[in-house]
Structure 1
Amino acid sequence: MSDPGPSGRFGRFGGRYVPESLITACEELEEAFRDAWDDPAFRAALSQTLELYAGRPTPVTPALRLSADLGVTLLLKREDLTHTGSHKINNVLGQALLARRMGKTRLLAETGAGQHGVATATAGALLGLGVTVFMGERDMERQQLNVFRMRLLGAEVVGVSSGSRTLKDACSEALRHWVAAADDAHYCIGSVMGPHPYPWMVREFQRVVGEEARGQCASLLPRAVPDVVVACVGGGSNAAGTFAGFVDTPARLVGVEPAGGAAVAGGEPGVLHGFHSYVLQDEDGQIQEAHSISAGLDYPGVGPEHAHLADTGRATYVSVTDDEAVAAVARLARTEGILPALESAHALAWVLKAAGTPDLPAGSTVLVTLSGRGDKDADQLARLI
């Protein structure tokens, strides 16, 4: 999980598949990111902002009661405790600072569950940048709280009525808008997807999650490194950031997809939103709709680096159902007093299912990244629990 180089390739995946009108914008962004990432002053400014504004470092919390129930040692990396309530703020603050360094005056973003949109609106308010967020109308209906938060923070929220009216369609609309607005606007992609340099850049901005967790686990565990590291995967940014901290250790890496949108397990290689990866598609190569109760995982593709990690066997990708994720929300809330986002609950659901089996034997240590908090899902959960 290092620099993919100018080609932006992770093995056979990745690349840059965009209209000619966006090639220059992507090249300029890559050059600007490389320059900033090599600049100690930029790195120091980002670290200070993450600490003083976003609330880093986030703790690793031992889930004592649930561990006793499951017969494994369960540790939770608490991204739900960041400002705005999810890991999205790490990447957005990095991209917003980069956009300002590039002289951009506006941020464009897509959002599914709304957390990336809220984080982008927050960063725009902090740095004095205009913000336009594209969001599928179906997601706006199930994430009304986050729509309100974005607008209160000063962002324009544009409903997308095409296709399934979810994250895939919001991404498509944001890319189309960027074509006409690239001179003054930066497209702040929310996950490890899109054309190069986005999958690499977003992973680097999220690497802080895994690097913090590795140091924290070293002080909590006798063997320093957990046996298994687990994170939910839609596009896969929280998982990429988490895995980056442990990829060079013996820890087993497990990404958990929604059963209705399992691109690694059920997809085929294809191109979507400017990158080559595993994508849900029919026999004619047409993109199929994903389904997940979680708006943030409702996406028919997966980040190209995850596709490469799956191909090489370094990470394993599994799936859980909507019902299993909802049950995991209730279980964590009632045993540990922590309300996770439906996205994060997918990772936890796999642990609940695997504990005591060969996949997660009794006595194992497992780290789960809680990518966000569940307040945003309260209306949905109230109808289900």
Structure 2
Amino acid sequence: MKFQPDNNGYYGQFGGAFIPELLYPNVKELKDNYIQIINSSEFQEAYKDLLKHYVGRPSPLYHAKRLSEKYNTTVYLKREDLNHTGAHKVNNTIGQILIAKYLGKTKIIAETGAGQHGVATATVCALMGLECVVFMGETDIKRQAPNVARMKMLGARIIPATSGSKTLKDATNEAIRYWIQHPETYYLIGSVVGPHPYPDMVARLQAIISEEIKIQLKDQTGNENPDAIIACVGGGSNAAGAFYHYLNNDKVELIAVEAAGLGVNSGESAATSQLGEVGVIHGSKTILMQDDYGQIVEPYSISAGLDYPGVGPLHAFLHESKRAKFMNATDKEALQAAYELTKIEGIIPALETAHALAVLPKMDLSKYNTIVINLSGRGDKDLETYIQHLDK
């Protein structure tokens, strides 16, 4: 089965570019140039150099021995939390800032939920001396204060989104509106969402994760293929990166974990694959949570990075084709998983990542010898939430 998009950006029925006419020149410019830029020796040299000397790649593939003993299987953690800025997001922003420079752009806009993409974008803008504007939901600004402070220190201007649930969806809406009004800007999208070519471009830039997993796993075990790879999914960029080089290898099970919030059917959830239907959001056709009138249903998760009402078109296709298994974890299960990893391995994960860890107790682990979990971010930004629930 083909897991790369066609020329119009479709993975099966999902993808495409549903955009206002005013944005067509911007998106076409990117579509016409991104693959040529990414494949150029100039880009690859600059990208790899920054990933190595600035970001700190390769990120370790860590054999979590005590976690493995507890679950009677072999668990490896891909330590994206050890990247500069504390998450996988920087893999994408380094790549896109280089593409923006190739296209002659001088002003960057971005959306952010948990703040990690905002921090990663502000970081590379500071590095390259470019103006940076970040849109962030008012709710997320309050619950992700450390990342807001980092963005401001890095010189970014933060514009609050005050509509809807005041979270990631609304920040994206505001960013797109701003982009329409200021078409000279470059929109640095943070996940495998949005109009083509963004989902494919972001997946390609995050593919460094699975590229390294293959090399590191072979070095440590003699086999580059785990039995399963687990990653959390909101929009889905860390999962896309962890899955990318295994998409056509059906011997490797791909497990995507969504946020169930207070329960899949509680009305307070972000489990898109379970609750969603086919529709269009933020420029692409995908699976999204909507009511009988096609209006977007507000998502909820304790994690600011997972409360998105849709999922990237690649993941919608992986779900429909059954190439990936979609699971979910509630707020409570994610918190328990985070506390467990912290106490067993001395690693405090981001709340997003904790959802991926939370499915281990739900799986029949007897059929897995080796599992890789993408530890997509560190938990510093979520300490206030962790502290609030510590004694509950």
TM-score if structure 1 supplies the norm length?
A: 0.97
Match of 1:194 in 2: 194
Q: In 2, distance between residues paired with 1:6 and 1:222?
A: 37
The corresponding residue for 2:99 is: 98
Say if 2:3 and 2:247, in contact at 8 Å, map to a contact too: no
CA deviation after TM superposition for structure 1 residue 23, in Å: 1.1
String of CA shifts for 1:69-109, please: whole Å, max 9, x gaps: 11010000000000000000000010001111111001100
Matched residue of 1:299: which SS?
coil
Compute the displacement of 1:4 (Å): 1.7
Q: Distance in 2 between matches of 1:238 and 1:93?
A: 15
User: Which residue in the other structure is 1:336 paired with?
Assistant: 345
Give the equivalent residue in structure 1 for 2:371: 366
Q: Distance in 2 between matches of 1:95 and 1:362?
A: 39
Contact 2:79 2:374 in 1 (8 A): yes
1:312 aligns with 2:321: yes
What amino acid does structure 2 have at the position aligned with 1:57? P
Map of 2:159 onto structure 1: 158
> What percentage of residue pairs aligned between the two structures are identical?
48
**Gap regions ≥5 residues in structure 1:** none
Q: For residue 309 of structure 2, what is the aligned residue in structure 1?
A: 300
- Aligned to 1:271, the other structure's residue is in SS state strand
Residue by residue over 1:15-73, the C-alpha shift from the partner in whole angstroms, topping out at 9 and shown as x without a partner, is: 00010111111000112212202311111111111111011100100000111111010
Aligned to 1:353: 362
Matched AA of 1:375: D
Mapped partners of 1:18, 1:61: distance in 2:
42
- One-letter amino acid of the structure 2 residue matched with residue 229 of structure 1: I
Q: How far, CA to CA, are the matches of 1:221 and 1:287 in structure 2?
A: 45
Give the secondary structure class of the aligned counterpart of 2:57. coil
- Pair 1:305–1:362, CA change in 2 (3 A): closer
Q: In 2, Cα distance between the equivalents of 1:93 and 1:72?
A: 35
Matches within 5 A, 1:133-212: 133-183=134-184, 185-212=185-212
Secondary structure, aligned partner of 2:338: helix
- Distance in 1 between residues matched to 2:362 and 2:351, nearest whole Å: 16
Equivalent residue, structure 2, for 1:238: 238
Shift of 1:222: 4.8
- Aligned partner of 2:227 in structure 1 is 227
Distance change in 2, residues 1:2/1:278 (3 Å): closer
Query: Which residue does 1:271 correspond to in 2?
Result: 280
AA paired with 1:384? Answer: H
Q: Number of residue pairs matched?
A: 380
**Counterparts of 2:154 and 2:45 in 1: how far apart (Å)?**
26
The match for 2:385 is 380
Asked if structure 1 preserves the Cα contact closer than 8 Å seen for 2:288 and 2:311, the reply is: yes
Q: Which whole-Å CA distance do the structure 2 matches of 1:199 and 1:163 have between them?
A: 24
Report the secondary structure of 1:297's partner residue. coil
Can you give the 5+ residue segments of structure 2 that lack an aligned partner in the other structure? Answer: 261-268
What secondary structure, in the 3-state scheme, does the structure 1 residue paired with 2:193 have?
coil
Consecutive aligned runs of 4 or more in structure 1 exceeding 6 Å deviation: none
Q: What letter is aligned with 2:200?
A: W
Map Cα deviations across residues 119-166 of structure 1 (whole Å, 9 max, x no partner). Answer: 000000000110000000000000000000000000001111111000
Determine the structure 2 residue equivalent to 1:49: 50
Question: What secondary structure sits across from 1:58 in the alignment?
Answer: coil
Shift of 1:217: 1.1
Whether contact under 8 Å (1:72, 1:362) holds in the other structure is no
TM-score, normalized by length of structure 2?
0.95
Q: Is the 8 A contact 2:3 2:248 kept in 1?
A: no
Q: 2:359 and 2:221 mapped to 1: Cα distance?
A: 22
Report the CA distance between 1:214 and its aligned residue. Answer: 1.3
Aligned match of 1:85? 86
| Range moving further from structure 2, 310-319 or 168-177 | 310-319
Contact 2:134/2:158 (8 A) holds in 1: yes
Counterpart in the other structure of 1:59: 60
Kindly indicate whether the alpha-carbon contact (under 8 Å) linking 2:259 and 2:270 is maintained by their aligned counterparts in 1: yes
Distance 1:326 1:245 in 2: 30
